[in-house]
Amino acid sequence: MDTPSRKIDLGSADGYWIGRFGAMANPCEVLIETTSAAEARDVCERVAACAWRIEDRFSRYRPDNVVHAINSSGGVPITVDEETAGLLDFAATLHRVSAGRFDITSGVLRRAWIFDGGVQVPSQAVIDEILPYVGWAKVIWERPVLTLLPGMQIDFGGIGKEYAVDQAARTVQALSSASTLINFGGDLAITRPRRTGHPWRVGIEATHGPPRVASRLIDLRDGALASSGDTYRFVLKDGRRYSHILDPRTGWPVEHAPRCVTVAAPTCTQAGTLATLAMLHGAAAGRFLEVEGARHWIQWS
């Protein structure tokens, strides 16, 4: 399974094994509470295979998958498979419940915005040229057939990583009785409680200071954790920080949004959805999560 670009590193720790690999432009790791190297290797390979499969199927950067076929359809209806249809249904639901704040067609705004820590801020005229190609309400979705207006695109980046975590967790639950923590770039899930009764301890990365330093440590026995924020993706011009969390209705970053929102929930998809929707609510992020009854942590600066 290992290739030069897709390699798994496996090592032992105190009572568990750690597997590391890269997927979806993120560092990924798998912690397995087992003393068996063979079991740990099997679990890691299954998790990595799941991550790489979803990356291959749904990355907008590949020229040979269903997302590319949709984005290059030029207005021609595309019939999609069951898995893709499920993601499209989920995206449609999020668009509805968020009053248009969550929109998988908003990825075309990357033509205007480059969130690389630089100083480039697009003009309103540039954004206005792109906005006609944004808006799920303009899409015709009659399962399993999707039709986009010419020039429109979809991007599953807002839900894909969390979906991959949950798919990997289900795979491991059917494979192994060992407690396993699956972490894809900070979005994570635990397959089952540890035999020792101890929690897995995870950190929420600080939004300032040295990279990879935790602002808080959280004990988790089960469930999932996901974060949304602008620690690495932003524009900084004239002392103003522009977050990569865009309001698809305006084409501009959400105003007064937190720097980072972290949510705990039964599944990673649920946690990621709530974290993203909270960010899209800007200054009302905390109130939104309180109404939802979500266990959460917010960093405002």
Q: How far apart are CA 93 and CA 76, in angstroms?
A: 23
Query: pLDDT for 87-140, tens place per residue?
Result: 999 999 999 999 999 999 999 999 999 999 999 999 999 999 999 999 999 999
Q: CB neighbours of 284 closer than 8 A, spacing ≥ 6? A: none
Phi, psi of 164 (to 5 degrees): -65, -40
CB 264 within 8 A of CB 292: no
Q: How far apart are CA 220 and CA 120, in angstroms?
A: 40
CB 139 within 8 A of CB 146: yes
Assess whether pLDDT exceeds 80 at residue 21. Answer: yes
Question: What kind of fold does domain 66-155 have according to CATH?
Answer: T-fold (1.10.3980)
Torsion-angle region of residue 239: left (phi > 0), alpha (psi -120 to 50) or beta?
Answer: left
Nearest to 281 by CA among 112, 91, 273: 273
Q: What is the pTM of this model?
A: 0.94
Residue intervals in the chain for CATH 1.10.3980.10: 66-155
Question: What torsion do the CA atoms of 73, 77, 83, 89 make, to the nearest 10 degrees?
Answer: 110
Tokens of 29: 């790791």
Query: pLDDT for 62-92, tens place per residue?
Result: 999 999 999 999 999 999 999 999 999 999 9
Token look-up 């709530």 returns: 274
CA-based torsion, 263, 267, 268, 271: positive or negative: negative
